[in-house]
Structure 1
Amino acid sequence: MAASSRFWGVASGMAAGALWGLVFLAPKVAPEASPMMLTAGRYLAYGLIAALLIAPRWRRVVAALDWKAWRALIWLSLAGNIVYFVFLVVGVHFAGVGASALIVGMVPVVVALWGLKDKDSPPLTRVAPPIVVAALAVGLIGWESLSQGSGGEHGGVQTLIGLACALAALLSWSAFAVGNSRWMVRLPAVTPHEWSLLTGVVTGGLALLLAVPAVLTMGPSSGEAWMRLIGVSLGVAVFASIIGNAFWNQASRLLPLTMLGQMIVSETLFAFLYGFLWEGRGPTVIEVIAMILMVVSVIWCVRAHRPAALAAAEGDH
């Protein structure tokens, strides 16, 4: 029975990673859409679906929240969804799928480093080696991206902007991961799934505010471009935000935290795979080395860190 649970837990974690990895392709599938428009479209769709799913239990869940909880939901929705996705889209546009996926895939390492000030956290000497490995991986993929984008000064500047935005997305998502974990502990009356749906509803409301200025950033676009944007928004909302999170919740129930943290690596690997398929090429030697270093760094850091820090890497994606 334990072996069966472990198998289905790993399968669920891999499925979540495969669906989350699709997010990195969104800017490529709808290149005409601005980062703001892609963000507004995705989270309007997600907010609507989340509202429909939480509607039957809305009164009970809302009764457990105070103003501080609502304020937390607002900043968590900004950090983990709106701000994160805008930076990610810009990163993919300018630095590519592979570089952005690898940098954002370092979330468990950043979260572990963030948790060093918590009580019972491991000494810096235990987490420093995997952090150095992670920095080496990011340095390699950054050098590779700059080499590929050095066809002129403008290309190099765009690549630097893309890498900086991917790093900003990493920090934004890491802040969400830590804050989200701590708020779920403070509200035992609200289940993780309900908290995720509440985050989706609040994110949808913020996306509604973003929609008007976002439309202005689109410029003149064909009906086909708008249909592509709608399709991408609905697809990412359903497959990544709804079904992907459901698979992750299933993995969370079946796997120990030490294994669950390592499942996050699958998102990055699938994003790389999708990027290579989209571009019709295989990975370069440096990309392969960077991916291996990233996987080693995340697994090493997860195993070196305490279970409480691993839980911080969980949450709505």
Structure 2
Amino acid sequence: MWIGTSFALAAGLMWGLVFVAPLMLPDYPAALLSFGRYLAFGLIALPLGWLDRKNLTGFERGDWLEALKLSAIGNVLYYLCLAAAIQRAGGPLPTMIIGTLPVVIAISSNLRDAKRDGRLPWVRLAPSLALIAAGIACVNQVELEHLRAQTDVDLGRYASGALLALVAVACWTWYPMRNADWLRTHAQRSPRSWATAQGLMTLPLALAGYLGLWLWSAVVGTQPWSADAAFAMPLGPRPLPFIGLMLAIGLFASWLGTLCWNEASQRLPTALVGQLIVFETLAALAYAFMLRGQSPAPLTLAGIGLLVAGVMWALRIKPVAAEVEAAGGAH
């Protein structure tokens, strides 16, 4: 249990980096950030795949198709929506919406995976979910007050950012449950190899998207995200920061983060590991405050405490087998 939790914590710390990348490169479009990140992830996966070729050759056609689906939805589409949401609505609003993932995934997994993982009794799970929800509400109350203080807020832009963040939530509610399905039914497979396989399948998707944006700008003379041609493809106005940041999040957030998450998913029930995505929210907030050069407000610190307390509460809950629960209900 604790080893799995440590892996989930490591994944959250690395995944938090993806929230600050769009803030560090605000002049880069979300599509280029998404395709750039996963192009770097795919290129990093190539030598790793060669080193791990013995395990990868054991994957069947259905395994590679599953890796492609997970890569398309859980990687490219998710980050495309998240990066666009952050650039349209700023960091706080998307973080608030993505922060609901622990609750959404826990409820979805508890409804869907009870036969496989055992059911977490709702009565015992409710306090944990309530603590997490209260913590997220506290943290985001401070962020929303910060937003209200701005005088040049474009409400339409913020609304579109909120909708894109909701799409990102849907993508990442589907991804961990589907990913856990494969890992739990292929317990003999290496989580490292599965992370590398997803990277390899992400590469053609990201490469096609990146080349598509570049071709569009070359043929049409404008960018798909802008009405002018001022943005210099293929690396934009700040090539070195762009390349460095894409390589960093490609290695740490995409490959190593996925590896740690796979290790956690093999050790923990999906309903519990889903709640541990709260670590990503905490890391994202910490990095955002570092980037701002500000310290968290007291209400933010209280919210962080509630989030951690909710996770610790959840870790104490033992799943109950469906048959046992049914028998107990009969009495």
Structures share fold, TM-score greater than 0.5: yes
Q: Distance in 1 between matches of 2:135 and 2:89?
A: 15
- Which secondary structure does the structure 2 equivalent of 1:159 belong to? helix
Matched, 1:128 2:134: no
CA offsets 1:1-44 (integer angstroms, 9 cap, x no match): xxxxx7x9877665543332222111122111111100000101
How far residue 203 of structure 1 moved from its aligned partner, in angstroms, is 1.2
Pairing 1:59-70 to 2, within 5 Å after superposition = 61-66=56-61, 68-70=62-64
> Is 2:12 the partner of 1:17?
yes
Counterpart residue number, 1:275: 288
Rounded to whole Å, the distance in 2 between the matches of 1:18 and 1:142 is 19
CA distance in 2 between counterparts of 1:160 and 1:107 reads 19
- SS across alignment from 2:28: coil
Residues 262 and 168 (structure 1), Cα distance of their counterparts in 2 relative to 1, 3 Å cut: closer
SS of match in other structure, 1:172: helix
- 1:196 CA displacement: 1.0
Is 2:235 the counterpart of 1:229?
A: no
CA distance in 1, matches of 2:320, 2:89: 33
- Name 1:311's counterpart in structure 2: none
Note the C-alpha offset of 1:171.
2.8
Distance 1:306 1:107, change over 3 A: farther
Q: 1:141 Cα deviation (Å)?
A: 4.8
Q: Highest CA radius of gyration, 1 or 2?
A: 2
Structure 1: tracts of 5 or more residues without a match: 1-5, 309-317
Show CA shifts across 1:103-149 (max 9, x none). Answer: 43443432221122222312333323333444444445555444433
One-letter amino acid of the counterpart of residue 50, structure 2: A
What SS class does the counterpart of residue 31 from structure 1 fall into? coil
Deviation at 1:166, TM superposition (A): 3.0
Determine the structure 2 residue equivalent to 1:84.
78
SS at match of 1:122: coil
Aligned equivalent of 1:71, options 53, 62, 65 = 65
Larger mean Cα displacement after TM superposition, 213-222 or 225-234: 213-222
From the superposition, tell whether residues 193 and 229 of structure 1 become closer, same or farther in structure 2 (CA, over 3 Å): same
Where 2:16 maps in the other structure, the secondary structure is: helix
Q: Corresponding residue for 2:46? A: 51
Tell me the residue number matched to 2:230.
220
CA distance in 2, matches of 1:130, 1:235: 34
Equivalent residues in 2 for 1:28-39, closer than 5 Å:
28-39=23-34
Q: Which residue of 2 aligns with 1:183?
A: 182
Let me know the Cα RMSD of the aligned residues: 3.6
Counterparts of residues 281-300 of structure 1 (less than 5 Å): 281-300=294-313
Mapping for residues 147-166 of structure 1, pairs under 5 Å:
147-150=145-148, 151=150, 154-166=153-165
8 Å CA contact 1:64–1:190 kept in 2: the answer is no
Q: Is the 8 A contact 1:16 1:267 kept in 2?
A: yes
Residues 278 and 286 (structure 1), Cα distance of their counterparts in 2 relative to 1, 3 Å cut: same
Q: Which runs of 5+ in 2 are unaligned?
A: 215-222, 322-331
Listed as ranges, the matches of 1:87-98 within 5 Å are 87-98=81-92
Q: Percent identity?
A: 30
- Is the CA contact (8 Å cut-off) linking 1:44 and 1:204 kept in structure 2? yes
Amino acid corresponding to residue 267 of structure 1 in structure 2: E
Please give the alpha-carbon distance, in whole angstroms, between the structure 1 residues aligned to 2:279 and 2:195. 21
Distance 2:263 2:66 in 1: 25
Is the CA contact (8 Å cut-off) linking 1:39 and 1:82 kept in structure 2?
Answer: yes
User: How far does the alpha carbon of each residue in 1:190-225 deviate from its partner, in whole angstroms, 9 at most, with x for none?
Assistant: 321111111111111111121134443465235642
Q: Indicate the structure with greater helix content.
A: 1
In the TM superposition, residue 82 of structure 1 has moved relative to its aligned partner by: 0.9
| Corresponding position of 2:217 | none
- Residue equivalent to 1:205: 204
Partner of 1:238: 251
Q: Deviations over 1:224-274 (max 9, x none)?
A: 423322221111112222344455667789x87799777654433222121
Deviates more, 1:147-156 or 1:226-235: 147-156
Q: String of CA shifts for 1:159-214, please: whole Å, max 9, x gaps.
A: 34334433432331121000001012233453211111111111111111211344
More off after superposition, 117-126 vs 168-177: 117-126
Partner of 1:195: 194
- Contact kept, 8 Å, 1:109 with 1:297, in 2: the verdict is no
Render the CA deviation track for 1:269-292: whole Å, top value 9, x for unaligned: 222121111112122344334333
Q: Is the 8 A contact 2:213 2:224 kept in 1?
A: yes
Mean Cα deviation higher: 295-304 or 275-284? 295-304
Give the letter aligned to residue 207 of structure 2.
L
